[in-house]
Amino acid sequence: MAYSPPVTGAFLRGDHDVLRVLLDRRGTRPGARSDPHRVALVVGGGGMRGAYVAGMLHALDRAGLRAAFDEVYGASSGAVSAASFLTGRADAGAAAFPEDLASPAFIDLRRLATARPAVSLDHLIHIVLGGTKPLPWEALRDSPVPLHVVATDAADLTPHVLTGLTTVDDWRRGLRASAAIPLLAGPPVEHAGRRWVDGSVGEPLAAARALRGGATHVLVLVCRPETEIHDASELSLWARALDRAVPGLGTLAQGSRRYDLRLVTDAAHPDRGPGHLLALGPSRAAGIAALSTDPVRVAEAVAVGDASAVAAVASLA
């Protein structure tokens, strides 16, 4: 496997062959390729930190790589940004963070005093994706590159890919389910006879899932700069206890401990097999957190993510 030193201007760790395969695929379409590969994109969530990832997706789209993937996995805000990317709306998905989401209409902790969610998923689904930055839901449903939405079963905190997303209402419900956190962002969402909460609770990065599903190459988009990642595959005891009481809160509280990149960086990892994995993240911190509402800093995070992906592509183009 071709492990290379870090690229200047990008947080890029793992096997650079993943990006080389994507670049070689430019101009091809799913189902009409000559290579033997199956390439998956894994988009991590993280609330407003998803601004970094939205910027990366915009850059990948401009680089002509949207159709180069065979499938996409997304959780929480990563699922929403992935939906924009797959439907040709990566530009709107990136712009939505500073223009529509970095505002009290979306995040306002004062609402907790009135027993309302601090994070308004109604604003995201209906006002933003249904109005100011409209998502073409039918195009998402019919996309030749499928989006696998990861959510967490509220009963036992196990992660799953939501199935049975066949209508526009199903897709709206699926994206809501992947981002729901009781008290903070609304109650669990019912779908297919189960109750679901934020996908990042059970599976922040679905890289191992993509490998088990048959992917030979996986590009993982990370919504934290390397300085804010502390490898740990398990939550602390207190965070797990909080998640059991209120699904999602413990995961949110522990934050950086949930982004374990050892699967990506260790070719001998027991869950790795013959797969090729590459992680792309922001080259530096923009000073934002999961609930940031400063539009200037959020816009900077989008720009940092965009520039990081541009640098990664340029290094191998």
Compute the distance between CA of residue 212 and CA of residue 88 in angstroms, rounded to an integer: 28
Rg of the chain on CA atoms, in Å: 18
Reply yes or no on whether 76 is catalytic: yes
Reply yes or no on whether 198 is catalytic: yes
| Residues contacting 186, CB < 8 A, separation 6+ | 117, 119, 121, 176, 180
Contact in structure between 199 and 161 (CB atoms under 8 Å): no
> Given 198, 243, 260, 306, which residue is catalytic?
198
Tokens read off for 174? 């699926």
> Given 15, 61, 76, 283, which residue is catalytic?
76
DSSP line for the chain: --B-PPPTTSEEEEBTHHHHHHHHTTT--TT--SS---EEEEE---GGGHHHHHHHHHHHHHTT-GGG-SEEEEETHHHHHHHHHHTT-HHHHHHHIIIIISSTTTB-GGGGGGTS-SB-HHIIIIIIIIIIS---HHHHHT-SS-EEEEEEETTT--EEE-----SHHHHHHHHHHTT--TTTT-S-EEETTEEEE-HHHH-S-THHHHHHTT-SEEEEE-SS-GGG----SS--HHHHHHHHHSTTHHHHHHGGGG---HHHH-TT-TTTTT-EEEEEE-SS--S--TT---HHHHHHHHHHHHHHHHHHHHHH-
Backbone angles phi, psi at 161, to 5 degrees: -85, 130
Q: Any idea which residues carry the catalytic annotation? A: 76, 198
